[in-house]
Amino acid sequence: MDEKDLTLLRLLEENCRTPVSDLAVMAELSEQDTEDRISRLEETGTIRCYAAIVDWKRAGNSNVAAVIELKVSPERDLGYDRIAERIARFPQVRSLRLMTGAYDLQVLVTGSSMHEIARFVAEQIAPMDRIRETATHIIMKTYKENGITFAERGEVERLPYSF
Same domain assignment for residues 69 and 38: no
Same domain assignment for residues 86 and 16: no
Q: What's 118's domain CATH number?
A: 3.30.70.920
**pTM score, whole prediction:** 0.78
Give residues with Cβ within 8 angstroms of 28, minimum separation 6. Answer: 4
Same domain assignment for residues 68 and 33: no
Task: Give alpha helix (H) positions in the chain.
Answer: 3-14, 20-27, 31-43, 81-88, 114-120
Q: How many other C-beta atoms can be found within 10 angstroms of the C-beta atom of residue 117?
A: 21
Give residues with Cβ within 8 angstroms of 7, minimum separation 6. Answer: 26, 27
Q: What is the pLDDT of residues 104-154, one digit of tens each?
A: 999 999 999 999 999 999 999 999 999 999 999 999 988 888 888 887 666
Q: What is the pLDDT of residues 51-66, one digit of tens each?
A: 888 888 888 888 899 9
Angle between helix axes 20-27 and 31-43 (nearest 10 degrees) is: 100
Instruction: Report phi then psi at 22, rounded to 5.
Output: -70, -40
**Under a CB-based contact definition with an 8 Å cutoff, are residues 55 and 72 in contact?**
no
Give residues with Cβ within 8 angstroms of 151, minimum separation 6. Answer: 141, 143, 144
- Position 157 pLDDT exceeds 80: no
Pairing of strands 105-111, 93-98: antiparallel
> What single-letter DSSP state applies at residue 129?
T
User: How confident is the model at residue 148, as a pLDDT?
Assistant: 85
Number of domains in the chain: 2
**Under a CB-based contact definition with an 8 Å cutoff, are residues 66 and 94 in contact?**
no
Residue type, 149: T
Q: Does 163 fall in a domain? A: no
User: How confident is the model at residue 154, as a pLDDT?
Assistant: 60
**Under a CB-based contact definition with an 8 Å cutoff, are residues 94 and 65 in contact?**
yes
Q: What's 38's domain CATH number?
A: 1.10.10
User: H or E stretch including 94?
Assistant: strand 93-98
Domain that includes residue 81, residue range: 64-145
